[in-house]
Structure 1
Amino acid sequence: MSDDPQDLDDFVEELTRHQVELIYFIRTLVGDVHAAMDIRQAVNMVMWKKRSKYRPGSNFRSWAFRIAHFEVKKYLRSQRRSRTVSFDGELLELFADEFDTVANQLPERRSALSRCITKLTAKDLELLRHRYWSDEPLEMLASATNRSIGTLKARLHQLRASLRTCIERQLGTPS
């Protein structure tokens, strides 16, 4: 990367665009959101220091994830020294590879999920919204709709299975 202001702007834009994916990737590998946030900051610092090695037009995401992978390894080594339980290197590699595959499928899966959700009844949609987008406990919905908590939990289980099947049908492959 050159010192051209446009290249710098492009780099910052790429860096910003991949922050959410980076935190998900790192959290998947370390399992602790607070550690993941700290590691992401370290990754950002490394990327900033190595920005001259990044070539505009190349795959920024792969470059960033590779740096994140090394920073996670460094973090896990330090945790091992402090006697904290952590994953071994092979398992870490498997998680990293699997995450990359899954992350590439997310936009398609989100789109399929949106299409599947439009097919739900108003009652089922209300249940999903309450469960996933409300801070109120399920007990409040049970009371308001005169249904038991067990009934609502069973229906949520059925809805998740139904949505999973619908998504698989939309994508043409089992997940």
Structure 2
Amino acid sequence: MDPESPLQHEQFLTLFTSSEPAIRAYVRRLVPTRNDAADVMQGVSLVLWKKFHELDQPSDFRKWSFGVARYETLAWLRNKSRDRLVLAEDVLLTLAHESERGEERLTAQREALEDCLEKLPQPQRTAILAAYAPDAAMQDVAKQSGRTVAAFYQWLHRMRLQLLECTRRTLQSEGLT
């Protein structure tokens, strides 16, 4: 496929956009500051685009991008090796490995939680999502649900416990506990 084709560009953007927060979090766990992570992410983004044509299966994009991020972080580490705040390469590799394993678990947990949320009746799901929306005012969410603020907090606590149990059961049934 021509690396400049609109289809490849669209496919890359779709995969990168959906994976970018996880890649950024992965890089952030490996470098000292957010600014360092932003610097590394610039390099990661460029390498991912330049080498996208080498990716065999789009379903492997996230795993592949973590590998690229690991190498870009190691390159950053070599360039910054004079700085006392930079981790030794063996420590960084250990952190990278643990972060990759942790990301798989977090992804499974996120998917299980989404499945559990989908099982809730629409009014309950709407109230929960409204409570966790950015800039949500609990007084407004409680009022929309027809509860007092205190009653809404109690209800929300019970719902969180229910979702936690559902998520645990889902992960356990999939052998991911």
Question: What TM-score do you get using the length of structure 1 for normalisation?
Answer: 0.65
2:135 matches 1:132: no
Structure 1 counterpart of 2:119, one-letter code: C
| Mapping for residues 155-166 of structure 1, pairs under 5 Å | 155-166=155-166
How many residue pairs are counted as aligned between the two chains?
Answer: 165
Note the aligned Cα RMSD (angstroms): 3.8
Of 85, 88, 92, which aligns to 2:96? 92
Aligned-residue identity in percent? 19
How far apart, CA to CA, are the structure 1 residues paired with 2:111 and 2:132? 20
Structure 2 counterpart of 1:72, one-letter code: T
| CA shift for structure 1 position 73 | 3.5
How far apart, CA to CA, are the structure 1 residues paired with 2:62 and 2:143? 47
> 1:117–1:84: structure 2 CA closer, same or farther, 3 Å change rule?
farther
- Structure 1: runs of 5 or more not aligned: none
- Structure 2: runs of 5 or more not aligned: none
- SS of the aligned residue for 2:135 comes to coil
| CA shift for structure 1 position 160 | 1.6
- Deviations 1:51-76 (CA, angstroms, capped at 9, x unpaired): 46x15447343322210122234445
2:112 matches 1:116: no
Structure 1 counterpart of 2:24, one-letter code: I
How far apart, CA to CA, are the structure 2 residues paired with 1:35 and 1:141? 38
Aligned to 2:15: 18
Question: What TM-score do you get using the length of structure 2 for normalisation?
Answer: 0.64
